[in-house]
Amino acid sequence: MAKIVGKALPDMPWRDKPAGNNNPVWRYENNPIIKADAIPSSNSIFNSAVIPFEDGYAGVFRCDSKAVSMDIFAGFSKDGLNWEINHEPIEFIGDDKEILTREYRYDPRVCFIEDRYYITWCNGYHGPTIGLGYTFDFKTFYQLENAFLPYNRNGVLFPRKINGKYAMLSRPSDTGHTPFGDIFLSMSPDLEHWGHHRFVMGTFRGDRSAWQATKIGAGPVPIETDEGWLLIYHGVLATCNGMVYRMGCALLDLLEPWKVKMRSRYYILGPREYYECVGDVPNVVFPCATLNDAKTGRIAIYYGCADTVTSVAFTTVEELMSFMKENPL
């Protein structure tokens, strides 16, 4: 049985799989956990990232305003389910004003590496690219250089150096609602200069796995297991009525993470519940973070729903591994 490499997290949110449920992922019964108007200025709160912090959890939340502008806000929780989100967006400190210029910021991920919490997000800089910053305490935030040239989205760091280098997944894109998109990996000695770009995996054209035909993008920070990096990602299908976002999973090689060892043919979660199907952008489930318990293999997935609210669903490393083994792409 595959094991998560990392810390035990015995108090993380969890529900056992309901009897009679045959799916690899099951939802929290009180979803959504964060409502659209959880802070006074918000139109919607979704596609957000959480992480263990002190004796509870912290997070970086995408809160779109009532002008429908996109920005990121810090938040805190004792139990991972009830959240207090700051009413003011994150202000970064940095050396270069040019980089601190704010066009828009959205879809954050948070990744603990060595001694600090790194934040990546889709950063407006003459088009979308990957913003990068860090914090030690979720109070003071430092911004680094944008990782890539525009246009790029879904920048997701690995939680440790691989072969002595930082590693990040991303999805080169365009300035609009990109009708294409594959996942690539880049490496860096210092989190500023990125190279060694490698193709990881692309869309799948064909009826065998049509839910991921239009574009795919990395979701939460990859989960280290003794068998490889477990990656949860989003897959998109363009339909006559707009794009439908579902979740899938893959297993990447530990030492050469651009090599895909397994990938599921079927999606692991798709929009079904009312709050996933009805909202500002219907039919979207969009995972941005997980909490993982290395002792039990439990995983809680945090995902945006219909670009409006935030929810949690549960799985285990074993569920996802067997699902991929039984239904390979």
Give me the phi and psi of 49, to 5 degrees please: -125, 140
For residue 56, the one-letter residue type is G
**64 lines the binding site for ligand BMA (CB under 6 A):** no
Q: Tell me the site size for ligand BMA, rule CB under 6 A.
A: 10
**286 lines the binding site for ligand BMA (CB under 6 A):** yes
**307 lines the binding site for ligand BMA (CB under 6 A):** yes
Select the residue interacting with ligand BMA from 12, 38, 284, 288 (CB under 6 A): 284
What's the min distance (Å) between Cβ of 117 and ligand BMA? 21
Q: Are 282 and 306 in contact (CB under 8 A)?
A: yes
* 92 or 245: CB nearest ligand BMA: 245
Quick note: the x/- pattern for ligand BMA over 154-183, rule CB under 6 A, is: -----------------------x------
Nearest to 55 by CA among 86, 80, 28: 80
What's the min distance (Å) between Cβ of 260 and ligand BMA? 23
Give me the phi and psi of 151, to 5 degrees please: -115, 135
Q: Output the six-digit token pair for 179.
A: 């009708």
What's the min distance (Å) between Cβ of 46 and ligand BMA? 7
**47 lines the binding site for ligand BMA (CB under 6 A):** yes
Quick note: the x/- pattern for ligand BMA over 242-281, rule CB under 6 A, is: ---x-----------------------------------x
What's the min distance (Å) between Cβ of 242 and ligand BMA? 9
Select the residue interacting with ligand BMA from 107, 224, 293, 319 (CB under 6 A): 107
- Contact positions toward ligand BMA, by CB under 6 A? 47, 106-107, 177, 245, 281, 284, 286, 304, 307
